Every structure is written in C-alpha cells, then in structure tokens.
C-alpha cells in the first residue's frame, strides 16, 4: 500500500512540475503515473549500472556527475513514454533536481501522516 502511495505522490510531483516547467510536458495524469512507474523502474535497474560504469568520472567530479546520470534517466523515460516530453538535457537536469526535492517534501508528509 505504501508503494502505491509513493508512486501516486511521485505522479503528483511529475504532474505539477510538467505544468510549471516550460521544457517539460505530460499529457494527462495517467501519463504522470506511468512516468513515475517508469522512472522508479529505471532508477532501480539502469541507474546502478550507469553509476558503476561512470564511477571514475563520478569520483573526479565529487559526485556531481550523478546529476547528469539522473538527467539521462529522465531523457530515457522521455524516449520510452509517448505522452511525456523533455526538450533538452538542461530541462531534464532541472526537472530531476526539482522532482527529487518535491518528492522528499511529499514523502516526509507521508511519513508524518503515518506516525499519527
């Protein structure tokens, strides 16, 4: 049940950011749910492989290259999902930063709600 709530909160974050950022578009809320699912799967399956392959450059940049990996995962989700569009890697980078920030706020609200 908690996984479903987390995916729905991620979809809300994707939907909000797609309406705020001009370089990111999402067709419907169902597409936002699909984006949340695909991003979580890509972060689970592809991101560890990319982190291992780019470990030297990640160490040299003191971990800042992980931001580029996150942007690449967003662009990969863009190519997989037809109703989701990101115009450039810079919008993907900003979307990834704001998405993680918004998700942390929403997930902390979820944790506070379950404590009571």
Token representation of residue 15: 């939907």
CA dihedral over 89, 90, 92, 93, signed as positive or negative: positive
Exposed / middle / buried, residue 110 (Cβ in 10 Å: 0-12, 13-18, 19+)? middle
In the chain, which ranges are E strands?
A: 24-26, 84-86
pTM of the model: 0.89
Interval 19-70: pLDDT, tens = 999 999 999 999 999 999 999 999 999 999 999 999 999 999 999 999 999 9
Structure confidence at residue 113 as a pLDDT band (50, 70, 90): low
CB 85 within 8 A of CB 78: yes
53 to 44, 46, 71, 75, 96: CA distances (angstroms): 15, 11, 16, 18, 20
- What pLDDT is stored for residue 116 in this prediction? 58
Structure confidence at residue 109 as a pLDDT band (50, 70, 90): confident
Mean pLDDT of the chain: 93
Phi and psi torsions of 25, nearest 5°: -135, 145
């Amino acid at each position: 049940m908690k996984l479903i709530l987390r995916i729905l909160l991620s979809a809300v974050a994707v939907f909000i950011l797609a309406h705020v950022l001009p370089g990111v578009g999402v067709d419907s809320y169902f597409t936002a749910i699909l984006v949340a699912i695909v991003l979580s799967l890509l972060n689970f399956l592809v991101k560890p492989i990319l982190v291992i392959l780019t470990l030297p450059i990640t160490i040299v940049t003191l971990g800042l290259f992980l931001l580029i990996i996150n942007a690449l995962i967003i662009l990969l989700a863009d190519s997989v999902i037809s109703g989701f569009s990101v115009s450039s890697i810079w919008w993907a980078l900003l979307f990834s930063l704001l998405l993680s920030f918004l998700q942390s706020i929403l997930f902390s609200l979820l944790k506070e709600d379950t404590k009571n």
